[in-house]
Amino acid sequence: KRPIIIDTDPGIDDALAIAIALYAGELDVKLITTVAGNVGVDKTTYNALRLLKFFEKESIPVAVGADKPLIRPYEDASYIHGKSGMEGYDFEDPTCTPITENAVNAMRRIITESKEPITIVAIGPLTNVALLLKVYPEVKENIKEVVMMGGSLSRGNMGVMSEFNVGVDPEAAYILFHSGVDIAMVGLDIGLKALVLPEDSEEIKTMNKTGEMAYCLFKKYRGGSFNTGLKMYDSTAIAYLLAPEIYEVVDTYVDVELAGSMTAGCTVVDLKGYLKQSNNAKVCIDVDADKFRKWFKESIRKCN
């Protein structure tokens, strides 16, 4: 089993990504770390704990991460995910609490202790990941890869040129792309194509408890219209691990615009090598949408 840490800001699409990861036989979720993103970190932490209760996986530790971006003021996305971040389903209160270590120290411990290199799946703003790499650079030796949902080859969903997870904390993304660790970027372009169509939602609804919960969340999820298809952004990062064949991937150089007065948080994906830099990331440039839908449904079917 591939050991992973999920760094997340649940988040409706985060909830489904976490569900799939927890029930995938190929993955071993060692730790969940939370970050301010879709909603504040108190809420994303509470949501992570509620999810683990729901999935009966409360033995997985949750560590609390950054409550704001490294430098910039924090803006949430509660207009998409609702006030709680996971509006639409009546979750039970968690019975567990976060561990006492903060996210960065917990990540460091898990990575250092692991016999096998750890994969970090980052599906929220990259604040915790950046802090980890800056404060404890020695962990890089035992990081297999950072698979991130974020960035864009084209335009944005937070600003004209910025995708939310990079746009919230561009400096953190910059630190990651300049860290030297192996990176896989599954960006907005993929998320816009990897849709769950209304007929899929109907199918999912009756699959199991998770399907029913997903359906209830989907009805409140404003990131996409229920009728024209829902964008399952964060699950696309899990799909990169479990079904890489659905993607077209290129090795390239990615940088993050920090100075732009209108374009800060833009991922500059240098497909043609204008910047004359060595490649630092694998970037998904296309996805087979039908295969994604099929994979997504099969994955939800494996949940409880």
Give the footprint of ligand BDR on this chain (CB under 6 A). Answer: 11, 13-14, 38, 77, 80, 123-124, 149, 157, 163-165, 188, 191, 233-234
Q: Which does 163 bind (CB under 5 to 8 A by kind): Ca ion, ligand BDR, none?
A: ligand BDR
CB of 155 to ligand BDR, least distance (A): 12
14 belongs to the binding site for Ca ion (CB under 5 A): yes
The 3 state secondary structure assigned to the chain is: CEEEEEEECCCHHHHHHHHHHHHCCCEEEEEEEECCCCCCHHHHHHHHHHHHHHCCCCCCCEEECCCCCCCCCCCCCHHHHCCCCCCCCCCCCCCCCCCCCCHHHHHHHHHHHCCCCEEEEECCCCHHHHHHHHHCHHHHHHEEEEEEECCCCCCCCCCCCCCHHHHHCHHHHHHHHCCCCCEEEECHHHHHHCEECHHHHHHHHCCCHHHHHHHHHHHHCCCCCCCCCEECHHHHHHHHHHCHHHEEEEEECEEECCCCCCCCCCEEECCCCCCCCCCCEEEEEEECHHHHHHHHHHHHHCCC
Task: Give yes or no for a contact between 10 and 47, defined as CB atoms under 8 angstroms apart.
Answer: yes
Interface positions, 218-237, toward Ca ion (CB under 5 A)? 234
Q: Which does 189 bind (CB under 5 to 8 A by kind): Ca ion, ligand BDR, none?
A: none
Nearer to Ca ion by C-beta: 123 or 264?
123
Interface positions, 47-106, toward Ca ion (CB under 5 A)? none
123 belongs to the binding site for Ca ion (CB under 5 A): yes
Interacting residue with Ca ion among 4, 5, 11, 184 (CB under 5 A): 11
CB of 141 to Ca ion, least distance (A): 27
CB of 229 to Ca ion, least distance (A): 18
Beta-carbon contacts of 246 under 8 Å, excluding residues fewer than 6 positions away, are 239, 287, 288, 291, 292, 295
170 belongs to the binding site for Ca ion (CB under 5 A): no
Nearer to ligand BDR by C-beta: 63 or 126?
126
CB of 267 to ligand BDR, least distance (A): 12
Closest residue to ligand BDR, judged by C-beta, is 164
Nearer to ligand BDR by C-beta: 98 or 124?
124
Nearer to Ca ion by C-beta: 148 or 243?
148
Interacting residue with Ca ion among 3, 124, 151, 265 (CB under 5 A): 124
Q: How many residues bind Ca ion, per CB under 5 A?
A: 6
CB of 272 to Ca ion, least distance (A): 30
Q: Name the site residues for Ca ion (rule: CB under 5 A).
A: 9, 11, 14, 123-124, 234
